[in-house]
Amino acid sequence: MTVIILNRPWVFRWHWVLINLSVITLLLFLAQWQWQRAIQKQEVLHLISQWQTQPAASIGDLVEGGAGNDGRRVEFPARWVSPYIWLVDNQILKGKPGYDVVVPVQKNTDSYESETELHSTIVLLNLGWLAAPLSRNELPEVDVPREFTVDGIYRSQVGGIVLGKNTENSGTWPMRIQQIRNDILANSFPDAIPGAIYQQKNSPFTIHYSPVVLPPERHKAYALQWLLLAISALLVGVACARSGDALRTPANENLGEIKK
């Protein structure tokens, strides 16, 4: 198809036009998606900053509120439910492999603020990162305090994709796992475990928890990158459109003379 643009003929081939438009649409979609992710991350960080200025919440309030309390600060005396220790595999910190130490803890008091809190006193607590031994066949020695104060952040959404077997149950503790999946961990624990986790802020282990994996600025940079790629794809498509004058190559002119 030939189109006159700026008094010059341009030849567009439909299959290349469709391919070019498909690529541009995909790149624009990715740019919009990354921009939306940046807005979501900004909202999460803003909410968490607001939670940190308010008094610590009770376990009952957190459980009843669910995801609406994500990022809220929690503080209460607790004791470790021995001997249960789960080591979350494939946790890389500053280029070194290690594990996140996750333990069940129970509120260390006889007075509960609500019926919900009474039945939710055993919760999962992420104590932080511990370096892995050189041998894969060995697990690190984990020294968990018997009693301590939980001072952390509540997260209602835990877990992730599990490929294969989640737990390596050798009959001893600690136990290596792939993901913090409360429903699966409950198989090796005598009591019910609520579907949430508390991220400890003070611990004998290395604290590396971040409420967002990528900051909003990174998502905005990705959005700009996809947008620039979309513009580049558009320019390439236009440049590849062959004008009528461009079709008049010396070879074509010679071929026309021979036909005469």
Predicted confidence (pLDDT) at residue 179 exceeds the cutoff of 90:
no
Q: Is the pTM of this model over 0.75?
A: no
Whole-number Å distance between alpha carbons of 12 and 220: 34
Sequence-distant (≥ 6) Cβ neighbours of residue 190 within 8 angstroms: none
Sequence-distant (≥ 6) Cβ neighbours of residue 160 within 8 angstroms: 179
Most distant pair of Cα atoms in the chain: their distance: 106
- Split at pLDDT 50, 70, 90, the class of 66 is low
Q: 10 Å Cβ neighbour count for 34? A: 20
Whole-number Å distance between alpha carbons of 193 and 153: 17
What's the confidence (pLDDT) of residue 243?
47
> How is the chain split into domains, by residue range?
1-55+213-242, 72-200
Mean pLDDT, rounded, for 203-229: 89
What's the confidence (pLDDT) of residue 220?
95
- Split at pLDDT 50, 70, 90, the class of 97 is very high
Predicted confidence (pLDDT) at residue 64 exceeds the cutoff of 70:
no
What's the confidence (pLDDT) of residue 167?
64
Tokens for 153, please give them. Answer: 């952040």
Whole-number Å distance between alpha carbons of 21 and 14: 10
What's the confidence (pLDDT) of residue 72?
83
What's the confidence (pLDDT) of residue 3?
60
